[in-house]
Amino acid sequence: MNTYRIPWHEKHKGQLFCDDSSESIIELLRSECTKGAVSWRMPCSVNAVAALNEGFELQTSQGLIRASELVVACGGMAIPQLGATDFALILARQFGLKIIEPRPALVPLNFDSQLWSSFSPLSGVAAEVLLYNQDSTKKRVEFSEDLLFTHRGLSGPGILQISSYWQPGEHIMIDLAPNVNLPAVLVAAKQGNRQQLATVLSELWPKRLIEQWLDANENIPKGLAQQRIADVPDKTLRSLGEQIHQWTLYPVGTAGYKKAEVMRGGVDTKMLNQKTLQAKSMKGLYFIGEACDVTGWLGGYNFQWAWASGVACGRAVGAQ
């Protein structure tokens, strides 16, 4: 980036973005390809691959191609509208490599439409929250990020992050007021306070979120937001504070590959040489990038893996 003088900035927790357009990264990659005398065939789809005694034969839309080494870099299934396919997984299966079940990741989460109908008026509202769940090994995973309400569920960076850890049937927890001990703050705020509860809470959240969220939540007494905080029993305030800290949700699914930024799962990394990405069971066959079971957080980590695995593999192939 520095060699090519591409200006960039760090947005949040190591997430790196170009100041201008991502086109400058494409230019960088093109220029490096020119230096490496890369020959291009575009557009060109590979329809089938056969292993020969020595090397591989590819049936492509531009005819047959023979190669002594084959690097499979055709990514995952996220955003098929942009050309994503499952071809890497087809090849992995063809050559007997184990696959970790693929799923959409970095993806919005959807909820039961009837349950969500009372939250859907919040569509477009964002809030900074703490999201957490326990993964299958019961290790707590948490992200402090923005949440965005949508018509069908939740999106925003926080949800995209936690979606990579969520499994069907599991719940996620959202602390809508991180960094505050809300039960204690609400009880302390009662003293001589003539304000409505909604007004007190508006120091934390946008007013629209407070009224709609409290109203939509089955466990919260109706009309609570409009009551004077001084008249609300301590027990109710403590319970409200706890519910705001521990909003428990059961997603019914994700928004799918059409909206996902990556595919999690893919070729089991145990099947690959860790230094070269060559299949342990087949000489000359390599898998890199998103086709492998490596999924990064938001913020450039998936590109980083795609490029780093590409460099490691490229060096190994070049040394042949």
Ligand X SMILES: Cc1cc2nc3c(=O)[nH]c(=O)nc-3n(C[C@H](O)[C@H](O)[C@H](O)COP(=O)(O)OP(=O)(O)OC[C@H]3O[C@@H](n4cnc5c(N)ncnc54)[C@H](O)[C@@H]3O)c2cc1C
Of 3 and 81, which has the nearer Cβ to ligand X?
Answer: 81
Of 162 and 177, which has the nearer Cβ to ligand X?
Answer: 162
Tell me how far, at minimum, the Cβ of 259 lies from ligand X, in Å: 9
Nearest CA-CA partner of 83 in 28, 39, 43:
43
Tell me how far, at minimum, the Cβ of 85 lies from ligand X, in Å: 4
Of 229 and 260, which has the nearer Cβ to ligand X?
Answer: 260
Beta bridge partners of 205: none
Alpha-carbon gap, residue 143 to 153, rounded angstroms: 18
Tell me how far, at minimum, the Cβ of 230 lies from ligand X, in Å: 48
- Closest residue to ligand X in the complex (CB): 289
Of 249 and 312, which has the nearer Cβ to ligand X?
Answer: 312
Tell me how far, at minimum, the Cβ of 300 lies from ligand X, in Å: 4
Tell me how far, at minimum, the Cβ of 41 lies from ligand X, in Å: 9
Residue type, 159: I
User: Which spans of this chain sit near ligand X (rule: CB under 6 A)?
Assistant: 45-46, 73-75, 78-79, 83-85, 87, 261-262, 289-291, 300-303, 306
Distance from the Cα of residue 112 to its chain's centroid: 21
Distance from the Cα of residue 297 to its chain's centroid: 6
Residue type, 110: N
Instruction: Look at strands 126-134 and 172-175 and give their pairing.
Output: antiparallel
Q: Are 210 and 167 in contact (CB under 8 A)?
A: no
Of 145 and 290, which has the nearer Cβ to ligand X?
Answer: 290
DSSP-assigned states of every residue in 235-283: HHHHHHHHHHHTEEE---EE--TTT-SEEEEEE-GGGB-TTT-BBTTST
Tell me how far, at minimum, the Cβ of 292 lies from ligand X, in Å: 8
Of 115 and 311, which has the nearer Cβ to ligand X?
Answer: 311
Q: What are phi and psi of 316, to 5 degrees?
A: -65, -45
